[in-house]
Copies of this chain bind each other. A is one copy, B any other.
Amino acid sequence: MNGILSGLRVVEGSAFVAAPLCGMTLAQMGADVIRFDLPGGGIDYRRWPMAHTGLSIYWASLNKGKRSLVVDFRQPEGQELLSELITAPGDGRGILSTNFPMHGWLDYETLKMRRNDLIAMNIIGNPDGSVAVDYTVNSAVGFPFVTGEGAEEAPVNHVFPGWDVSTGYAAAMGILAAERHRYLTGEGQHVKLSLADVAFATVGNLGYIGEVQINNEERPNVGNSVYGSYGADFATNDGRRVMIIAVSVSQWKKLVDATESAAAMVKLEGELGLDFAKEEHRYEAREPIGEIIAAWCSAHTLAEVRATFEKNNVCWGPYQTFTQMVAEDPRCTPANPLFQEVEQPGIGSYLIPGVPHQFSAVERTHPHSPQLGEHTDEILADDLGLSSGEIGTLHDRSIIAGPK
């Protein structure tokens, strides 16, 4: 694979979303990412959604472009092989990414004795190292009480694992920052990044901590509406729904034009003594504004809404189920360079995304996922210099395994 990160090598011990996504993003950009797993696969090897062939679509989707190495790292010899691989010499090497606890053989100081400039990214749950996952972090940071009909007795969890995904990209960014620093100074780094810190930092970065501490208020639940500006969702007359946004004056004018509601809005402004050029006034009047927009939307089909809004450059989007997204949206087809139809061995052919970044000077690639253990022998021979006899012995003694 050739990509913008070619020459970088990362050894990954991972499960679930954040750590696999970090390594996958690096791999899709051309880094050599070696994911190691126990024989039979890690804790996420059978995670849903599963294909009827018995392979996990989830696992295949989060490990694209990596090489797969199966080593029994419960055994000292397996630990020794991995330690050697993690700390092997060379520019762009000596990088570990893991969401496993860095204890015992994976302890940073222990590994560092073999390579002094080792970079290790350790994705953890809580900053103190205790366990937490996206769901148990999300519950703590306020959002479930202001999502949907979320209320004190019935908070609403998000389903998009946004803390995992944000952490995955932040981890990849942290590895590149540490590697840049090492390139310039020669110094290695042990980086800790917790899901909880990503979430707590985000609440602060959006101003909600300041709102509590400075204003003694907190962001209210306004359902699907946008807080402090204008945005809401509406039904079309063919049973579909659309999300409409007007956070700028320009977006507001386009919406009013597209829905031919200028006269109605002027009348409403007069009645309420408000000026809808101000976003806080649009927010204050969101219910009566919504009645006007709702009447227009409910008189048109989704196709008509789309045609009018596209012509007028309205900021809007249709609601789509996962099936509708795949069936209807041109952004989810090979016409969008993000996607290609790729054959994933053991699962079948389906649309596989590359990295979301489109770099002008390198091509976007669409690698599939490895088979578990597919590259075990290759890595031991090429990267660790073991002979075929030595590799055979390790297989016989169940220290390593190849694909089934």
Report whether A214 and B325 are in contact in the complex, using a CB–CB cutoff of 8 Å: no
In Å, the complex CA distance between A337 and B57 comes to 38
Instruction: Kindly identify, within residues 149 to 165 of chain A, every residue whose CB is under 8 Å from any CB belonging to chain B.
Output: 149-150, 152-153, 155-162, 165
**Chain B residues near A233 (CB-CB < 8 A):** 139, 155, 157
User: Closest CB-CB distance, A202 to chain B, in whole Å?
Assistant: 6
Determine, out of A218-226, A259-267, A285-293, A393-401, the stretch whose residues face the partner at the interface.
Answer: A218-226
Select one of B144, B197, B209 contacting A351, CB under 8 A: B209
5 A/B residue pairs, CB under 8 Å, sorted by A: A47-B229, A173-B176, A189-B361, A201-B353, A213-B326
Determine, out of A72-80, A81-89, A130-138, A373-381, the stretch whose residues face the partner at the interface.
Answer: A130-138
- Identify the closest chain B residue to A8 (Cβ): B180
**Chain B residues near A4 (CB-CB < 8 A):** 177-178, 180-181, 189
Excluding A43-B247, A130-B313, A161-B206, 17 further A-B contacts by CB distance (< 8 Å) are A5-B181, A47-B229, A49-B207, A51-B210, A141-B322, A142-B325, A148-B148, A156-B224, A157-B243, A170-B357, A174-B359, A189-B361, A191-B358, A193-B356, A204-B339, A209-B332, A218-B322
Report whether B338 and A197 are in contact in the complex, using a CB–CB cutoff of 8 Å: yes
A127 at the interface (CB under 8 A from B): yes
Determine, out of A32-40, A58-66, A269-277, the stretch whose residues face the partner at the interface.
Answer: A58-66
**Chain B residues near A191 (CB-CB < 8 A):** 357-360
Residue of A62, A152, A176, A209 with highest tally of chain B CB at under 10 A: A209
Report whether A336 and B162 are in contact in the complex, using a CB–CB cutoff of 8 Å: no
In Å, the complex CA distance between A17 and B247 comes to 13
A211 in contact with B57 given A166-B166, A183-B183, A322-B142 (CB within 8 Å): yes
In Å, the complex CA distance between A120 and B235 comes to 39
Report whether B49 and A331 are in contact in the complex, using a CB–CB cutoff of 8 Å: no
In Å, the complex CA distance between A236 and B335 comes to 51
Report whether A60 and B135 are in contact in the complex, using a CB–CB cutoff of 8 Å: no
Instruction: Kindly identify, within residues 313 to 356 of chain A, every residue whose CB is under 8 Å from any CB belonging to chain B.
Output: 313, 315-326, 329, 331-332, 336-339, 344, 347-348, 350-356
Report whether B181 and A47 are in contact in the complex, using a CB–CB cutoff of 8 Å: no
A135 in contact with B317 given A140-B329, A177-B5, A360-B191 (CB within 8 Å): yes
User: Closest CB-CB distance, A199 to chain B, in whole Å?
Assistant: 8
Select one of B5, B61, B315 contacting A131, CB under 8 A: B315
A281 at the interface (CB under 8 A from B): no
In Å, the complex CA distance between A351 and B205 comes to 10
